[in-house]
Amino acid sequence: METQKICFAGFGGQGVLSAGKLLTYAGMLEGKEVSWCPSYGPEMRGGTANCAVVVSDEPVASPVITENATAAVIMNLPSFDKFVNIVKSGGTIIINSSLIDKKVERDDVKVIYVPANEIAKEIGNPNLLNIILIGALIAIEKTVSENSIIDAFTKVFGENKAKFIPINKEAIEKGIECAKSQI
């Protein structure tokens, strides 16, 4: 596979960092080379958050992504301007259209609009928006399988969260469904 470099961006509390960890762990479980790297700095609670995930067949060189990302998952408006242009030509941009009313004005990338907050509310848990967006991402990018995300779930969040696996599975599938309806 081509080395996948994926940025997750949003605000603190949306599950930006944990979405990245889930994808990274799933990649590791599939035997791929992986890295996860957060942006770190003087941030306030509720401020912007982003992380970079690399999934590859080769040892990961730089865990930081400054250009040529293969995909970006953008969860809020302040992250939109910063991350839309980090994705290389032919890449994929997943937009949380619940919080972002702008359209991506590029014709060289695949863009998927996912009303993640609304879908999460429908499923019954607003915290699931990041999981829905992962579903949309893997539907297009095939970074890892849906099963690997589920297998990674308790590794990242702990065994005591296993009871939430069914609702998370539903969230991933809603994300996949939403993405597939747009291609």
Partner 1 sequence: MAKVLMKGNEAVGKAAIEAGCRYFFGYPITPQSELPEYMARELPKVGGVFVQSESEISAINMVYGAASAGARVMTSSSSPGIALKQEGIGYITKANRPAVIVNMMRGGPGLGTIQPSQADYHMCVKGGSNGDYHNIVLAPSSIQEAVDMVIEAFDLADIYLTPVIILADGLIGQMMEPVEFTNKKQREIPKKDWALVGKGKGERHITKNLDLNPLDLERENIELFEKYKKIEENETQYEDYLMEDAEYAFVAYGTSARIVKSAVRKLREEGYKIGLIRPKTLWPFPKEAFKRNNIKKYIDIEMSMGQMVDDVKLACEDVHKVVFYGRSGGVILSSEEIVDFGKSIMGGAL
Q: Is 147 in the site for partner 1 (CB under 8 A)?
A: no
Kindly state the helix (H) or strand (E) to which residue 28 belongs, with its residue range: helix 16-29
Q: Is 24 in the site for partner 1 (CB under 8 A)?
A: yes
Among 13, 43, 57, 62, binds partner 1 (CB under 8 A): 62
CA distance 87 to 93: 7
Nearest distance, CB of residue 152 and partner 1, angstroms: 9
Going by C-beta distance under 8 Å and a sequence separation of 6 or more, which residues neighbour residue 1? 56, 57
Bridge partners (DSSP) listed for residue 21: none
Q: Is 162 in the site for partner 1 (CB under 8 A)?
A: no
Among 12, 18, 30, 37, binds partner 1 (CB under 8 A): 37
Task: Give one word for 20, left, alpha or beta, with left for phi > 0 and alpha for psi -120 to 50.
Answer: alpha
Q: Is 153 in the site for partner 1 (CB under 8 A)?
A: no
In the complex with partner 1, the residue whose CB is nearer, 60 or 150, is 60
Q: Is 59 in the site for partner 1 (CB under 8 A)?
A: yes
Kindly state the helix (H) or strand (E) to which residue 133 belongs, with its residue range: helix 129-141
Instruction: Identify the three-state secondary structure at position 38.
Output: strand
Nearest distance, CB of residue 97 and partner 1, angstroms: 29
| Chain mean position to CA 43 | 21
Contact region with partner 1 (CB under 8 A), list: 7-15, 21-29, 80-88, 101-109: 21-29
Bridge partners (DSSP) listed for residue 37: 52
Nearest distance, CB of residue 18 and partner 1, angstroms: 12
Query: Which residues bind to partner 1, rule: CB under 8 A?
Result: 21, 24-25, 28, 34-38, 40-42, 58-64, 66-67, 155-156
